[in-house]
Each structure stands twice: as structure tokens, then as C-alpha cells.
Amino acid sequence: MVNIFYKVRTVNILFLIAGLFFLPLFTYSQRTGSKGVAPATVVPPLVVPDTSKNSLLLPVVVRDTGKNSSDQYLTLKQCIDYALIHQPFINEANINVDVAKTTNAISLAGWLPQVNSSGTLTHYIQRTNSNITTTTQGFSSNSVNTFVPGVAVSQAIFSPGLLYASKSAPLYVKQAQQATDSTKIFVVSSVSKTFYTLLNTLEQINVFKEDTARLGRSLRDAYIQYKGGIVDETDYEQAAITLNNSKAQLKQANENVVPQYASLKRLMGFPPEKQFNVVFDTLQMRNAIQIDTTEQLQYEKRIELQEIRTSEDLQSQLQNYYRFSWLPTLSAFYNYNLYFADNNYNNLLSNSYPSSLVGLSFSIPIFTGFARLNNERKAKLQQQIIHWNETDLRSQINVEYTSALANYKGNYYNLQLLQRNVALARRVYFVVELQYKQGIVPYLNVITAESNLITSEINYLNALFQVLSNKIDLQKAMGNISY
């Protein structure tokens, strides 16, 4: 029994010595590989730097390190502030406010005194036989040449048209300012959503870079195992196929950045020939996702409803104008004339005969072919159209609010689940990769785990920025967009 024990012990010692002797040789063969020519399908793996530290999956302050070689970095707030100053639509809207004010000044000019100057120079070719001629100015003359300059001043005292202009003037300015506010709300929401779309693409680039680096390491491991005879060639080829797919996705994402930057520049009014990069704080962005979903919808906050109300007020003023257009137009006038007469042009201005008068004038529309009544009826019908537009607008606002709220709640819940999926997918990939290196599972399991990981990360990023966009839509639907 003792001899058998010593024989088994001797055999174990011999195996241990042999293993220690051949282990360096086996390790050296794995590192150096075969001295022969590699197959045509074997290519050296591409080494891609790991940029996982620049990811929304980790709370850091990230600067875009994409294609733009500019030292100017802009946050979302800076992009919005720049757009509010340089965006063409906003500048056009601001000009329209000035146009409305100028138009009102033109319409109200009738309340100011109107001064006109006129003159008549007359030369009689043939006179009547009478020695005395009565002119239209009330003078008597038999001169051949006459010159009558004059000044006429009128002042409106009451006019239905001027009264309508006075009451509607502030409403036109208010309407132009509301149009400007509506344009600003559109620009703020559009810049924010485009900014988030750009960030989504930039973060996907970081994920694809990380994935490409990870697949590069897997390709090297598969190549070493293939050269060592541990696995067959298909594992290495599958790793190469997966790496090429990841590089194609990375290339496409890099190309998508260019038009997205162009879209953001257009919405900002940023010069196309200049460059800038975006910078964002991922922790602050995550905190900005939250919004009070219990707040009740208040229709009066919507700028569209405010514009409808202003249109109703303008239409009411127009209706009142046609209703009281039968009132008389009253004005005062003052005329001053000088009369010059002589048979010789050289002495025409030698003697002058001044005259002046003052008076009141009025006009009353007695019958206008029923135009006033038809205009008043037309104004009432237009008022009804505006009322139905308001009713439809309220329904539309309610649909926008309920849709935005549902999308926000659903995508926010989806975001929480996808965040857990990312953590699970990373753990699964780590375990499966170790199992593959130890020869426990085939490479197909590694491909599946890696595919689940990249899908989870991309889905999480899409859900994150979708929730941010849904928040913008919800704030816009509730009329809470600030600028």
C-alpha cells in the first residue's frame, strides 16, 4: 500500500516538473505566433483609443472633441442666448414690431394739423369786354397777369376713421410683440432639441469608439488563440466581422455630426464658415430631466391663445368702426392768400392784396348703398370665425399637452429600465468574456453579449435625449418655455 502511494506521488511530481518546463515554451509560442505565412483572411487588428470616459454614462463635464478644430465652446444656454440675438427670424419679428409702430404713427398723423401751400399763376390771353373782372379769390382786376399763393391749415376735430386708428394702434403693436414672442419660443425649443440631437450623436460616437476598442481587444485575443491552436479560424473571422460593423457605425456617426452642426448653426444664426464645439455637464443634464407632471394645463399661458385674443380685440374694434361710421366728420380750417396782379411781369410782385378766413367743415354719410351695413355684417362673421378658431385651438393645445405628457412619462420610465440594462449588459459581457478566455463558452456567446451591450448603451442614449426632447415639448405645450 505504501509502495502504491509512493508511485502515485512520483508520477505527480514528474507531471508537475514537465508542466513547469513546457509552460514558458507555450507562452512564448502564443506571443510570437507561427513563423509561417498567415492566411489571407488574417489582418492585424486596428487599435482604437478607449474614450469611455467621455460618455453620458458617467457624470462628467464633456467637451466635444469631434471634427471642429475651434477653441470656442458653447453650452445650451449660450446657444440659446446667441440665437435670440442673431437668429434671422427673431430679427425679422423685431423689425415687424417697429413696422407696426411706424404704421400706427402714419395712421394717427391725421390728428395733427395738416398744413398745405398752393399757388396759381395766371396769364390772360384774351380778356372780356368788361373793364372789371371778378376773380375766384374775390378780388376785382383787369390785369393780364395774376399770381395767388396761399396757405391752408386744417385740424381734425372728430373722425370715425381716426378714432378707430387710435383704439386699434396699441393692439397692432401688441400683436407684433406676441408674434415676436412666438418666434422666440419656436427658436428656443428648436435650438434645444437640435442641441440634444447633436449631443446624442456625439455620445453615440463615444460609445462606438469604446465598442471598437473593446472589439479590437477581442480580435487580438481571438487571433492569439487561433494562432495557438486553441480555437479555429471562424472565431477570429467572426471577431473581424463584428469589428468592421462597429467601425462602419462609427464612421457613419462621425459623418452625421457635420449636417447636425449645420442645422444648429442655422437655428442659431451662426455664420456657416465659422466653427464651434458644444460643452455640457452630464450631471446637470440628468438633473434637468425632472419636471412637475402634476401641474395643471393653463390655456392662457399659450402664446397662440394670446394671439387669438388680440385678433378678437382687433376685430371688435373694426366692428365698432363700421357700426359708428355714420357719425359726421368734423374739422376746422384756416386759409391765408396773397393776391398779386399787374400787366407787366416785372411789376407783378410789387403790390399784394392779402386775405384770410377761418371756418368749420363737416360731412355726414347719408346713403352709401348699404356698404356700411354689409361691412358691419362681414365684421361680425369674421368675429365668429375667430371664435371657432379659438375653440379648435383649445382642443389642439389639449391634444399637444396630453401627447407630450404621455410621451414624457413613458420615455422616462423606459429610461430607468434601460439604465439598468446597461449595467446588466456590462456585467454579462465581462463574465462571458472571461468564460471565453477560459474556454468555457464559444465565441458566439461573446458576440451576443457584446451586441446586447452596444444595443443597451445606444438605446439608453436615445432614451435619455428623447426624454429631454419630450420635456421641451411638454414645457411648450404648457406655455412654460422661458427665454
Flag whether pLDDT at 82 surpasses 50.
Answer: yes
Of 474 and 63, more confident: 474
**Order of strands across the sheet that contains 352-363:** 114-123, 145-158, 329-342, 352-363
Q: Residue 395 — φ and ψ, nearest 5°?
A: -65, -40
Flag whether pLDDT at 57 surpasses 60.
Answer: no
DSSP of 25-46, one letter per residue? HHHHHHHH--SSPPPTT--PPP
Q: What's the pLDDT score for residue 433?
A: 87
Q: What's the pLDDT score for residue 224?
A: 82
Flag whether pLDDT at 445 surpasses 70.
Answer: yes
For residue 423, being part of any structural domain is answered with yes
pLDDT band at 265 (very low <50, low <70, confident <90, very high): very high
Among the listed residues 334, 340, 343, 335, the one whose alpha carbon sits nearest the alpha carbon of residue 139: 340
For residue 301, being part of any structural domain is answered with yes
> Domain containing 219: what range?
46-478
For residue 294, being part of any structural domain is answered with yes
For residue 4, being part of any structural domain is answered with no
Residue 458 · residue 423 · CB < 8 Å: no
Q: What's the pLDDT score for residue 386?
A: 96
- Over range 122-139, report the average pLDDT: 63
Flag whether pLDDT at 132 surpasses 90.
Answer: no
* Predicted confidence (pLDDT) per residue in 392-418, tens digit: 999 999 999 999 999 999 999 999 999
pLDDT band at 223 (very low <50, low <70, confident <90, very high): confident
pTM equals 0.77
Of 167 and 346, more confident: 167
Flag whether pLDDT at 67 surpasses 80.
Answer: no
Q: How far apart are CA 230 and CA 228, in angstroms?
A: 6
Domain at 383, CATH number: 1.20.1600.10
Q: How far apart are CA 50 and CA 168, in angstroms?
A: 65
Of 474 and 482, more confident: 474
Flag whether pLDDT at 38 surpasses 60.
Answer: no
pLDDT band at 195 (very low <50, low <70, confident <90, very high): very high
Q: How far apart are CA 68 and CA 49, in angstroms?
A: 19
* Predicted confidence (pLDDT) per residue in 10-19, tens digit: 545 555 555 5
Flag whether pLDDT at 46 surpasses 50.
Answer: no
For residue 19, being part of any structural domain is answered with no
- The total number of structural domains that make up the chain: 1
Least confident of 96-110, 240-254, 338-352: 338-352
Q: Residue 9 — φ and ψ, nearest 5°?
A: -65, -40
pLDDT band at 420 (very low <50, low <70, confident <90, very high): very high
For residue 290, being part of any structural domain is answered with yes
- Over range 181-188, report the average pLDDT: 96
Q: How far apart are CA 476 and CA 483, in angstroms?
A: 12
Residues linked to residue 156 through DSSP beta bridges, in sequence order:
331
- Over range 123-141, report the average pLDDT: 61
For residue 356, being part of any structural domain is answered with yes
Among the listed residues 278, 272, 251, 271, the one whose alpha carbon sits nearest the alpha carbon of residue 197: 278
Planar angle of CA 369, 370, 375, nearest 5 degrees: 125
pLDDT band at 189 (very low <50, low <70, confident <90, very high): very high
pLDDT band at 26 (very low <50, low <70, confident <90, very high): very low
Of 134 and 430, more confident: 430
Planar angle of CA 366, 372, 375, nearest 5 degrees: 175
Q: What's the pLDDT score for residue 31?
A: 38
Q: How far apart are CA 308 and CA 314, in angstroms?
A: 10
- Over range 89-99, report the average pLDDT: 96
For residue 18, being part of any structural domain is answered with no
Q: What's the pLDDT score for residue 17?
A: 53
Residue 476 · residue 302 · CB < 8 Å: no
Q: Max Cα separation, the chain? A: 174
